[in-house]
Amino acid sequence: MNKRMKHIVCTGMMIVSMLSFANGTSSLDNHKEPTVITFDNVKKGHQLVIKDANLLIVYKESIQKNGSYAKGFDLTSLPDGNYYVELDKDVKIVVIPFTVASNKVTFDKKNETVIYKPTVRLEDNYLFVSRLSLDVAPLKMKLYYTPSFQQGKELLFSEEVENTKIMERIFELSKEKKGSYTVFFESQGREFSERIKF
């Protein structure tokens, strides 16, 4: 019994020393502080996206609850380069650029931009389209009508808006032209679309 007890104690000490040695070598890598990304006034369904300089999505998450958002990310694991954090909200997209260089993350809050999305709503047979652009970015807009899924879409209206902060349009839809209406927008390298059933 004594021999067996000595063997168990010896084995236990070896395991403890190996674990302490393993913890000693790996603790050097565990001192990285996560970068906490925070946003106020978020809603469930908003999208948080991290993109690289080529606008390829590196990370995407759908916000799960209303209120404030805060989450830690190890952004130092990204390759050196320029990136963007985007919060895609109901009517605007907040874009914050940041740089990763030699395992250091630097946010450029001075160059934070807000892209206002066009809004579309239908009241009776009137289609209201509007967009706010504080930096007067150009906007291309096209309105299509599709009578049914079997038929192709018909271009009803096309316009390119420039040098305008507030764009507002009202379209009266024909009560005889029931079906699907789609409004396509293109601005600041982004495309938006809204489909209305009438």
Query: What pLDDT does residue 5 have?
Result: 55
Per-residue pLDDT of the chain (198 residues; tens, 9 = 90+): 556 555 554 554 444 444 444 433 333 344 567 899 999 999 999 999 999 999 999 999 999 999 999 999 999 999 999 999 999 999 999 999 999 999 899 999 999 999 999 999 999 999 999 999 988 999 999 999 998 777 788 999 999 999 999 999 999 998 888 889 999 999 988 999 999 998
Does residue 86 fall inside a structural domain? yes
Query: What pLDDT does residue 162 have?
Result: 94
Does residue 110 fall inside a structural domain? yes
Answer yes or no: do 125 and 99 share one domain.
no
- Among residues 92, 114, 136, the one where a domain terminates is 114
Answer yes or no: do 72 and 123 share one domain.
no
User: Cα separation of 50 and 77, whole Å?
Assistant: 13
User: Cα separation of 153 and 144, whole Å?
Assistant: 6
Answer yes or no: do 188 and 129 share one domain.
yes
Query: What pLDDT does residue 151 have?
Result: 78
Answer yes or no: do 95 and 159 share one domain.
no
- Among residues 45, 80, 114, the one where a domain terminates is 114
CATH of the domain at 47: 2.60.40.1930
Does residue 40 fall inside a structural domain? yes
User: In the 3-class helix/strand/coil scheme, how is the chain assigned residue by residue?
Assistant: CHHHHHHHHHHHHHHHHHHHHHHHHHCCHHHCCCEEEEEEEECCCCEEEEEECCCCEEEEEECCCCEEEEEEECHHHCCCEEEEEEEECCCEEEEEEEEEECCEEEECHHHCEEEECCEEEEECCEEEEEEECCCCCCEEEEEEEECCCCCCCEEEEEEEECCCCEEEEEEECCCCCCCEEEEEEEECCEEEEEEEEC
Query: What pLDDT does residue 116 have?
Result: 92
Query: What pLDDT does residue 32 have?
Result: 67
128 touches 173 (CB < 8 A)? no
Answer yes or no: do 55 and 128 share one domain.
no
* β 126-132/104-107 pair status: unpaired
Answer yes or no: do 142 and 193 share one domain.
yes
Does residue 3 fall inside a structural domain? no
Range of the domain at 108: 31-114
Answer yes or no: do 57 and 37 share one domain.
yes
Q: How many domains does the chain fold into?
A: 2
Does residue 150 fall inside a structural domain? yes
- Among residues 60, 84, 114, the one where a domain terminates is 114
Query: What pLDDT does residue 30 have?
Result: 43
